[in-house]
Amino acid sequence: MKTIVIGVIGSDVHAVGNKVIEYTLKSAGYHVVNIGVLSTQEDFIEAAIESEADLILVSSLYGHGEIDVRGFKEKCIEHGLEDVLLYIGGNIVVGKQSFFDVEKRFKEMGFNRVFPPNFKIESALQYIKEDLGE
């Protein structure tokens, strides 16, 4: 069974969507480790090590995600998690910006997939299946 670590990064307390993600992924047959809201980069990384995760799915809804994930990929590599996939989704930047640019910036930061606002987790499932091979 593939393991996915989920949580909401930074000083962000949006708890509901995170629960929906947990429910949906579990129903799809994944082992989900939910570290909850107000999570730091280290919280994600440590949970990923203990659970030998295949994917880290970061949520951010309050607009400051871009600052919160700075250096995240580098830290993952430093912790031996270079092969773990990184996803991010939600309202990850301040204001209304072209998603094309946003996606490009986050991919440069090392994220494998970047999801725009209002993108349903159900729709993300097909990408997860594709990437994890299950």
Partner 1 sequence: MKKYLLVDFGSTFTKLTAVDTKKQDIIGTSFSLSTVKTNILIGYQKALDELYKKINEKIIFDEVLACSSASGGLKMAVSGLVPSLTVEGAKRACMGAGAKVDYLFSYRLTSQDITTLKESEIDILLLVGGIDGGNETIVSHNIIEVAKAKLPYPVIYAGNNKLIDTVKYWFDKYELNYFIAPNIMSTINVLRFEETRKIIREIFLTKIIEAKGIKQFENENRTVLYPTPESLLKASLLLADGYQQETGLGDLMVIDVGGATTDVYSMGFGYPKKTDVILKGLEETYDKRTVEGDLGLRVSAASLRDYLNCDSYFYREDINFKKEVEKRIFDHNYISSNENDYYVDKIMASKCVEIATQRHVGTINSYFGGEGLIYFQEGKDLTDIETVIGTGGGLIYQPFRKEVLKNVEKNQDNDLRPKSPKYYIDDDYIMQTMGLLSEKEPLVALKILKKRIVKLDES
Does the annotation count 64 as an active-site position? Answer: no
Does 31 qualify as catalytic in the annotation?
A: no
Smallest gap from Cβ 66 to partner 1, in A, equals 14
Exactly one of 14, 31, 64, 79 is catalytic; which is it? 14
**39 vs 113, which CB is nearer to partner 1?**
39
Quote the least distance from Cβ 94 to partner 1, whole Å. 11
Instruction: Report in angstroms the alpha-carbon separations of 91 from 2, 46, 99, 131.
Output: 26, 25, 11, 23
What is d(CA 26, CA 131) in angstroms, rounded to the nearest whole number? 17
Closer to partner 1 by Cβ: residue 52 or 130:
52
Residue type, 67: I
Please tell me the distance from the alpha carbon of residue 81 to that of residue 69, in angstroms, as a whole number: 15
Residue 97: phi, psi to the nearest 5? -125, 160
Using rule CB under 8 A, residue 63 touches partner 1 = yes
Report the SS3 class of residue 93.
Answer: coil
Contact between 3 and partner 1 per CB under 8 A: yes
Indicate which single residue of 9, 21, 25, 47 sits in contact with partner 1 (rule: CB under 8 A).
47
Q: Quick check: 76 binds partner 1 (CB under 8 A)?
A: no
- Other residues' Cβ atoms within 10 Å of the Cβ of residue 34: 19
Of the candidate residues 11, 74, 78, 116, the single one contacting partner 1 (CB under 8 A): 11
